[in-house]
């Protein structure tokens, strides 16, 4: 049975070596504004989907927190219903933690951002600002601009003329990218802001690439703030094939980093031993290759998280503190380099599978195909298959088709996905009630316990879970829109757009990169840069 945990006890856990997870179940905007350092974000509405991969073993101590204790009680009940047997909640939440003068911080994925700024200061990572880059481009200087973000981010917008080379692929493919370039061609590394460009530039700097390598200061955000336009829909995202020379260079570099940073290589028997350990404790198995490589064949139980994102979002990958982590690729370079970064980030028990998926197959072990484990396009956490609680809701909640909902609108239509999804398009007359606040806000829009209610969302999953909750609360006439707004659109039904009827400021979406306002971009970039000041002072 779940128990409260005091701030004093939680602080002791952070200072010890026992495995545990601290998960903040509030909305991203709330977490971004202030959270406990070392906590990972899983909004309450995503627990059913993300908790099993965030905390691989259900017996791991899992501490949940919110601000004041209201939402965490519901989150605890969800975690226990999912089979997690060692659940606790932070007594008094983040508010009490702060009132006792324990530290808080703002931002998301702060560990990697802080680490990136440390790398820049300590290793004097070279950079170029947008104005100088634009001047070089106009002069026709020889350069290649490498975008280290995900392919999806790159295609949405990029520095004009840039090509996609995700951060986890840099060291493996840079030899082949530059093979036909003149020696005086500059390599410019960029991302949306700062971290991934700093990390990428540092990787090439440490590799000893024999040409000028610079990171684009402030990335695409800095480009926009300098008054320049981004390119949309770029298709220069095909990765170069890896030559024997390119692989040899990358593997030599990986061996050096592994030796210097304390990465341990495993053979197939070593992975077997950790798989056996995972029956009693949380162990992370991460495949850092491209989505296509992973889909073509991966080791069962290894979750896909591309290497660059893996470093950028380490607190989303390794949610359980003091847990072993095993990285895998097709050989050793990408896995060992990801493991090297994690060792530099301060993680203790970090391994790379020597020979990767190929060594596994050569040992006569089967590979799985498809993208069933952690297969979101952005590399975010995601579970395998359908959560059991969603299956139960699917079996118990009546559904309604798009046409039937339009022909017979109920007394209340609730949309329970994000405010951004709501603004993109919802059933006319629907009201936004975030699922994390459903128990407290539903009564604002549903006139009585027996009033007919239809629950909607983006794809039909959140609405089923929300409808099940409403039925548990005593609302007796609840249905869910089958297939969500995807089905509504497919049926050609009319849409209402914008935050119609929303009276509370949404706190569930955190914008990034050039999606921010100019002022927010400025504040964010200054905050990131400020993270490095303490390292400059220490030096």
For 431-444, what is each residue's pLDDT tens digit?
999 999 999 999 99
DSSP three-state, residue 122: helix
Average pLDDT of span 324-353:
98
CB 347, CB 325: distance < 8 Å = yes
User: Does 388-490 match 252-362 at the fold level?
Assistant: yes
Q: How far apart are CA 534 and CA 355, in angstroms?
A: 39
The pTM for the full model equals 0.94
CATH number for 388-490: choose from 3.40.250.10, 3.90.550.10, 3.20.20.10, 3.30.70.120. 3.40.250.10
Average pLDDT of span 5-34:
97
Residue-averaged pLDDT of the chain: 95
pLDDT value of position 384: 54
Determine the distance from the C-alpha atom of residue 283 to the mean position of all C-alpha atoms in its chain, rounded to a whole number: 18
For 478-536, what is each residue's pLDDT tens digit?
999 999 999 999 999 999 999 999 988 999 999 888 789 999 999 999 999 999 999 99
CATH fourth-level superfamily of 252-362: Rhodanese-like domain (3.40.250.10)
Planar angle of CA 399, 404, 410, nearest 5 degrees = 80
Give 481: exposed, middle or buried? Use CB within 10 Å, 0-12, 13-18, 19+.
buried
Architecture of domain 113-241: 3-Layer(aba) Sandwich (3.40)
Q: How far apart are CA 509 and CA 138, in angstroms?
A: 37
**Where would I find the H helices in 375-472?**
388-396, 402-407, 419-424, 438-441, 461-472
**Strand stretches in 241-365, DSSP E:** 264-266, 284-287, 303-304, 325-328, 350-353
For 104-162, what is each residue's pLDDT tens digit?
999 999 999 999 999 999 999 999 999 999 999 999 999 999 999 999 999 999 999 99
Architecture of domain 3-107: 3-Layer(aba) Sandwich (3.40)
| Nearest residue to 271 via CA among 180, 356, 210 | 356
Question: Going by C-beta distance under 8 Å and a sequence separation of 6 or more, which residues neighbour residue 538?
Answer: none
For 341-399, what is each residue's pLDDT tens digit?
999 999 999 999 999 999 999 999 999 999 754 434 343 334 457 899 999 999 999 99
| Nearest residue to 177 via CA among 251, 250, 234, 252 | 250
Instruction: Kindly list the domain boundaries of the chain, sorted by start residue.
Output: 3-107, 113-241, 252-362, 388-490
CB 62, CB 41: distance < 8 Å = no
User: For the chain, what percent of residues have pLDDT higher than 90?
Assistant: 94
Q: How far apart are CA 285 and CA 418, in angstroms?
A: 30
User: What is the DSSP-derived secondary structure letter of residue 231?
Assistant: B
In this structure, what are the phi and psi dihedrals at residue 96, rounded to the nearest 5 degrees? -70, -40
């Amino acid at each position: 049975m779940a128990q409260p945990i005091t701030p004093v006890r939680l602080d002791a856990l952070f200072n010890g070596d026992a495995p545990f997870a601290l998960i903040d179940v509030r909305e991203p905007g709330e977490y971004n504004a202030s959270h406990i350092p070392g906590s990972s974000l899983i909004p309450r509405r995503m627990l059913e989907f993300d908790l099993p991969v965030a905390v691989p073993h259900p017996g791991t101590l899992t501490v949940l927190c919110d601000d004041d204790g209201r939402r965490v009680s519901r989150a605890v009940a969800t975690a226990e219903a999912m089979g997690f047997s060692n659940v606790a909640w932070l007594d008094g939440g983040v508010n009490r933690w702060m009132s006792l003068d324990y530290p808080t911080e703002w931002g998301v994925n702060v560990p990697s951002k802080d680490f990136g700024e440390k790398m820049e200061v300590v290793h004097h990572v070279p950079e170029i600002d947008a104005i100088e880059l634009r001047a070089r481009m106009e002069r026709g200087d020889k350069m290649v601009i490498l975008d280290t973000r995900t392919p999806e981010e790159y295609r949405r917008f990029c520095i004009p003329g840039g090509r996609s080379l995700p951060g986890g692929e840099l060291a493996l493919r840079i030899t082949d990218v530059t093979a036909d370039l003149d020696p005086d061609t500059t390599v410019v590394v960029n991302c949306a802001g700062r971290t991934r460009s700093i990390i990428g530039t540092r990787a090439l700097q440490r590799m000893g690439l024999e040409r000028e390598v610079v990171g684009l200061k402030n990335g695409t955000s800095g480009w926009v703030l300098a008054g320049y336009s981004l390119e949309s829909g770029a298709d220069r995202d095909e990765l170069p094939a890896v030559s024997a020379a390119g692989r040899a260079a990358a593997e030599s570099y990986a061996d050096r980093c592994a030796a210097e940073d304390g990465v341990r290589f495993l053979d197939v028997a070593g992975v077997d031993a950790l798989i056996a350990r995972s029956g009693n404790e949380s162990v992370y198995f991460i495949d850092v290759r491209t989505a296509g490589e992973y889909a073509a064949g991966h080791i069962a139980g290894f979750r896909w998280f591309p290497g660059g994102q893996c470093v950028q979002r380490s607190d989303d990958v390794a949610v359980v503190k003091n847990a072993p982590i095993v990285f895998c690729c097709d050989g050793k370079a990408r896995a060992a380099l990801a493991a090297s970064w994690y060792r530099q980030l301060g993680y203790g028990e970090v391994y790379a599978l020597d020979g990767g998926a190929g060594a596994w197959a050569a040992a006569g072990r089967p590979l799985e195909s498809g993208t069933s484990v952690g297969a979101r396009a952005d590399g975010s956490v995601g579970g395998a298959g359908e959560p059991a609680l969603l299956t139960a809701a699917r079996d118990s909640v009546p559904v309604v088709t798009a046409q039937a909902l339009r022909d017979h609108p109920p007394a209340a239509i609730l949309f329970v996905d994000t405010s951004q999804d709501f603004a993109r398009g919802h059933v006319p007359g629907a009201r936004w009630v975030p699922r994390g606040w459903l128990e407290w806000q539903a009564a604002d829009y549903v006139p009585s316990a027996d009033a007919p209610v239809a629950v909607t969302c983006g794809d039909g999953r959140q609405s089923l879970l929300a409808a099940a909750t409403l039925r548990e609360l005593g609302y007796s006439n609840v249905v869910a829109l089958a297939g969500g707004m995807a089905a509504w659109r497919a049926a050609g039904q009319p849409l209402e757009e914008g935050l119609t009827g929303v009276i509370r400021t949404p706190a569930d979406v955190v914008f990034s990169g050039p999606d921010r306002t100019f002022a927010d971009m400025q504040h964010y970039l200054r905050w990131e840069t400020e993270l490095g000041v303490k390292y400059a002072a220490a030096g």
